[in-house]
Structure 1
Amino acid sequence: MIESLLVANRGEIARRIIRTAKRLGIRAIAVHSEADAGLPFVTEADEAVCVGPANPAQSYRNVEAILAAAKSTGAQAIHPGYGFLSENADFARTVEASGLIWVGPRADAITAMGDKINARNLMAAAGVPVAPGTTDPAADLAAAVAAAAEIGYPVMVKAAAGGGGMGMGVATDETALRTEYDKVRSFAERMFGDGSVLIERYFPRVRHVEVQILGLADGRVVALGERECSVQRRNQKLVEESPSPAVSPELRGRFLAAAVRAGEAVGYRNAGTVECLLDPATNEFFFLEMNTRLQVEHPVTELVYGVDLVEEQLRVAAGLAPTFDPDALAPRGHAIELRINAEDPKRFLPGPGAIKTWVEPTGEGVRVDSGYIEGNTVTPFYDSLMAKLIVSGATRAEAIERAKAAVAAFELAGPKNNLPFFAELLENEEFLSGDYDTGIVSRMR
């Protein structure tokens, strides 16, 4: 097993990785910005190194500073968490070229899946269902108009290099397409340095379902069930649950088989997620993208399958067998994750600030993965995620009841937060029925 691990991230995910590392007897090393010096992940690590000022480009995305920290602390491996450098193939290559162990997929898999058009084409060749769309970037507006006419409106206009729900727009006709194309292209050039645009069929009523995969050290790819991620705002997830209430055993078999094929098509190793769109009217699903990293919502899979995905990541990176029997994977019970963000519960706009009260709920089936404690300050420099409230039960109904109690018991004052939204959602008849889609939040608002 790896003996020392540098966590190239911050907040709740850094704290969560450090927790597993220390349980396994691995020396845990944190890197942090000047703005994060007082956060729990820094104080809980065995060693911590400041890598720059608040600006992520000068700290958490500063490759030279992170590698220097790894060298000065004698780190053996680097875990990138999610976001920041986690899906940066050049960083993965640089880590390995420096003689360190990269806790993630191979750089060529990151590259292959990093471009949505290339990923679509690879998946189609591997027999994974893909939605009707362009096989090459729409080079200009005329090409986008022609593609949309062939696909049929409405269409989704997407940044080929984007991720995390960013760089997307819906066009219901040619006039809207002209506006959205320019908007998405400009955003993509600014944010990703790549203005390539993909045109794809848009499904007005759709569910977002993803499959957790793990590429093992022996070359096998296994699937650890699906997660329902349809409660979203601005195409970004707020709630995830496993198993999905929309997925039958037969459909689950198809989902998992497709996800394994997707992983095998790129020789996938370590943890990853195959994201899909599910048409509830037909039970057809289509490949959306592959996230070549650990997901924010990985805890629901951990609770349903009884595994520690960070431990499994470390074992794969070290060339070790998993702790579980890949041929005997079976879900037990139900788990739900609520993302507690520093944002107002109506318009979901960021509201950072000093935390005056922070009391986490406890009890059977309640887990909180948090990045903050009372007295910390949520700054405006990073994502608004403060904590993840994860609940589990023998059934979905039991998990929901525990979620209601946990939301009510979570005492949080200072920054704006979305706990009131979750209290509302957990009483919403559409959500309670399990028959909901990605439009549920907009219908609530």
Structure 2
Amino acid sequence: MLRNGAAGGGGPAAGGAAGHRPVRVWCDGCYDMVHYGHSNQLRQARAMGDYLIVGVHTDEEIAKHKGPPVFTQEERYKMVQAIKWVDEIAPGAPYVTTLETLDKYNCDFCVHGDDITLTIDGKDTYEEVKTAGRYRECKRTQGVSTTDLVGRMLLMTKAHHSNIDEDLDYRKHTDNFGKGPKGHSPWTGVSQFLQTSQKIIQFASGKEPQPGDTIIYVAGAFDLFHIGHVDFLEKVHQLAERPYIIAGLHFDQEVNRYKGKNYPIMNIHERTLSVLACRYVSEVVIGAPYAVTADLLDHFRVTLVCHGMTEVVSDKDGSDPYEEPKRRGIFQLVDSGSNLTTDLIVQRIIKNRLEFEARNQKKEAKELAVLETSRELMLGSWNAAASPSSGGAKSSSREDSEQGHRCWCAQDVLA
């Protein structure tokens, strides 16, 4: 059971402490197929200041530099706005981050991950703000990328589920997904996610329900946490003046029982972080029972149980999992107004598989070219330092070269 912090948490109040000018932070990106890696980047950025503005690129800009996105710009705008550390979004942000953009939104600096973002002609999109000293870097979340998630959808294996021992074969296939002829870029390639208690604490760190709160329980897979889930949770949030929403997440094997195929695409640990990042959710129950029992309702003092318009699959014994809340008269169907489901997202990916693989190969080729250029620059600096005529110590020159490389190579959490 994990409690969430207030929306926009992670740093001081947006207005800043008394006598303190609030520090305004800028982030930008495509934010296509938003996952907990994006949320973690925004959490870190928010902690560096008092107010976080997130610029989201248009479909046209993304198509120009990377290839067509999976989600529309309107879907991506709403997904980013639903992340609890985001104070404001800037729709239609330019792909190349400039001082003009930072000044327009009165931001002190921009923050991005320790990977790289390149324009269509292979230039660093953050070069201008780095040169001006208005750039900060945060750690990229290992083990999650759009490439990996798409690979899971296409391979139709279950190795990404918890307690499933197919990992070696799965890794062999995902390691080759979308890979170009010269190998993997360390930023776009696939790596393994390892859940830690610290990561959960960073995403949760929340509050207990207070007197007067309406405790609402929702349950499901919340797989590939998407705009359909956000629309549903937003509608549920509007049902009460002071809602306290508890989301019950089913274990992977339970989800696979009622969804079939290779669902869930994201395992229980990944789904937990995705839901915790949503501003409408107050608490998460990891491995919630499929049937909403009397014990569960009493334990959490639930006053309302909500479900969307999707089909409710019977429990293993054929019973209705919502029988108890219906008996108590606290069950309510909620129409989110969205028809987007995890199945439809997978269909989008499958339909555009070749295009997506080509996009990743093109992106990796640019990143590998940057790495090769960087290695050559470092080797040149090292050789110059080793030369008797250089007049400098080897260790000092090497450190300077490495420091310059770290400063130069950075960006886009979105693979």
Q: Do these two structures clear the TM 0.5 threshold for a shared fold by scoring above it?
A: no
**Which has the larger share of helix?**
2
TM normalised by structure 1 equals: 0.31
Rg (Cα) greater in structure: 2
**Which has the larger share of strand?**
1
TM normalised by structure 2 equals: 0.32
Larger RCO of the pair (alpha carbons < 8 Å, separation 6+) = 2
